[in-house]
Amino acid sequence: MSARIAVPVFPGTNSEDETLRLLRDCGGNAELVHWSQADSLAQYDAYVLSGGFAYEDRIRAGAIAAHDRMMDTVIEAAGNGKLVFGICNGAQILLEAGLVPGTGSIRRPTAAFTRNAPAPHFVCRHVYLKLAIEPARCAITAALPEDAIVPAWAAHAEGRLAAAPEHLREIVAGGHLAFIYAHSTGAVDQAAVPNGSALGCAGLVNREGNVLAIMPHPERDAWNFNHLDRREGDDVLATSGGSALFRSFVQALAS
């Protein structure tokens, strides 16, 4: 029987359906798990935390959801080596829970995805993520090629990596900087960064390599119908570039 993937739904989650559909299109055995079903989460083999506005992003994005009882199960599962993948609000929750970069104690975050800069406005922009680690450093990226470029959409008001200088140094030295913003060619400069993120960070991985948090949404650039030019051919349901990371995730579970 294939590994079971849970997509937890917190109060305010709003990208769960696209996430679920793409996981299934990539061969994953995925199901939505509503917060009222929290007791069932332990039965699953992996977890994908999708985007949204959990608990209205009160205090700061992800701060309340990180203390939701669903996260008790996710934190325990991550400690036991299960794969955990967070996207946008899901990524913010993972940082607030201390799972990523994982350089401090649980629920004592050492970094956060906070208000965009220089202007603290909501950003909606097509972006490219460049893999900044060896693929095998993270189980979820292991099937990607070296220096992989993944198209996605940045859609957030709080996506800027912020941390004290010593913690930024820990992130670099520990190999936690999983993805950086880049141009479609792979070139890297400040113009490619939509939110002022420290280190040009678009995603972080924990020390053990089983928890990945990324801010942009690859599931919003994952099918041919997301492209007006139908670049992937006439089949509007054909998967496109953003699906690569989801396929890698599903392959990691299969192996």
Q: Are 106 and 44 in contact (CB under 8 A)?
A: no
Kindly report the CA angle at 255 between 69 and 143, in degrees rounded to 5? 95
CA–CA distance, 178 with 87 (Å, rounded to integer): 13
Determine phi and psi for 29, rounding to 5 degrees: -95, 85
State in Å, rounded, how far the first CA of the chain is from the last one: 13
Residue 156, helix vs strand vs coil: strand
CA–CA distance, 192 with 212 (Å, rounded to integer): 21
For residue 214, the cross-strand partners are: 87, 203
What amino acid positions are annotated as catalytic residues?
88, 217, 219
